[in-house]
Homo-oligomer: A and B are copies of this chain.
Amino acid sequence: MEHRYDATALSAFATGLFEAAGLNADKASTIGSLLVEADLMGHTTHGLQLCAPYLKALEEGTMLKEGGPEILSDRGAVATWDGRRLPGVWLTARGVDLAVERAKTYGTASIAIRRSHHIACLAVFLERATREGCMVQIACSDPAVASVAPYGGTEPLFTPDPIAVGIPTSGDPILIDTSASITTNGLTGRLQNEGKKLPGKWVQDADGAATDDPGVLFTDPPGTILPIGGQGYGHKGYGLALMIEALTQGLAGHGRADPADGWGAGVHIQVSDPTAFSGRDAFNRQIDHIVEKCLTNKPATPGTPVRLPGQNAIRKRRTAEENGLQLYPGIMEALKPWAKKYNIALPSQWTP
């Protein structure tokens, strides 16, 4: 029988676990609710699946609990933070909020964060900006992790290097969640555990042979995830990877040139306020027009309409809020020992 949960109860449960692990209410509730948000939007590898690893990192002291980021520079439109390995979900949420505030003054704002802990699902931060009428880009990389080779190479150098973009419209925002590589560490790891193949030749073995077998990432020496464009035109993904690594490590001033200090992230947040350019009405007029032209575009597969990025995620969230959230198998099982340890009641199941 399938278990469904109330999203609010799940958030409270995760918040309780993080508070028990030593985070204050602000940090615990920000992280708890945003992990659940990822599950609500269908990003099941980057939601509560991360709760147990985060609790472990807090317990081990590799994720810091106390205080805030150290401000390394502040020029108004630009700020640089040392995240001191504080929880990345909390740092990124605060970073987006600050960038929105600064963009309202300067028209644009850019925040670089070094030594953040892991930041989970980039898509869940976008609506903090789009709700304020702003366009936002969030990129991150983990300088301690390498799973993607430069185009034409075979040795892991980059992380998948995600970039998420939020674009406000008159209706639901456009929520883009993409990356410089074809697929993610999360998906390849999950498919490997489940004995499944990738949908295409999205990885290569250590000799550079393209394959759909995620197992090549776990050999010694390991294979690599291919940049977008694969072996045909992977210079496109390689270029994006270099851009994202420069934004998240170069501007942040900490990265692969430094000794690896564990699971974490360099982050770059960029917010633009349309009112400082041509105005919100002029912005919406263009974006609404493009949205309409996308949604009414004649589909390649009859009966399968063109979608907007984020449309499925927003629909899934609405459905889950109305009908309860079914977690990906194994997630609640991984949290039960922590709930027991911290004496936190499990969330009650959904009752319509």
Interface residues of chain A, those whose CB is within 8 Å of chain B, are 72-73, 75-78, 80, 106-110, 112, 114, 135, 137, 149-155, 157, 165, 167, 174, 176-179, 182, 199-200, 202, 204, 207-208, 228-229, 231-233, 235-240, 242-243, 245-247, 249-257, 270, 272, 274, 276-279, 282-283, 285-290, 293-294, 297-301, 304-309
Contact = CB atoms under 8 A, between A and B. Distances in A.
13 contacts: A77-B77, A78-B276, A106-B106, A150-B306, A165-B239, A178-B240, A182-B229, A228-B228, A239-B309, A242-B308, A246-B286, A250-B282, A256-B293
Contact of A110 (B108, B200, B204): B108
A165 B250 CA distance: 14
A179 B228 CA distance: 12
A256 B286 contact: yes
Contact of A154 (B135, B151, B182, B297): B297
A255 B242 CA distance: 30
Given A75-B276, A165-B243, A179-B236, A286 B249 contact: yes
Contacts of A239: 165, 176-178, 309
B228 A236 contact: yes
A14 B350 CA distance: 72
Nearest to A183: B233
B251 A278 contact: yes
Given A152-B300, A152-B306, A274 B250 contact: yes
A78 B152 contact: no
Contact of A157 (B109, B252, B294, B301): B294
Nearest to A114: B278
A297 B135 contact: no
A309 B235 contact: yes
A59 to B, nearest CB: 31
Contacts of A308: 242
A26 B17 CA distance: 65
Contact of A242 (B151, B154, B174, B300): B174
A166 B301 CA distance: 39
Nearest to A102: B77
A300 B246 contact: no
Nearest to A158: B290
Nearest to A256: B289
B106 A208 contact: no
A112 B278 contact: yes
Contacts of A75: 106-107, 276
B250 A309 contact: no
Contacts of A235: 178, 309
Nearest to A209: B300
A106 to B, nearest CB: 4
* Those 8 A-B pairs whose CB atoms lie nearest each other, nearest first: A253-B278, A208-B300, A78-B107, A153-B297, A253-B282, A257-B289, A176-B239, A75-B107
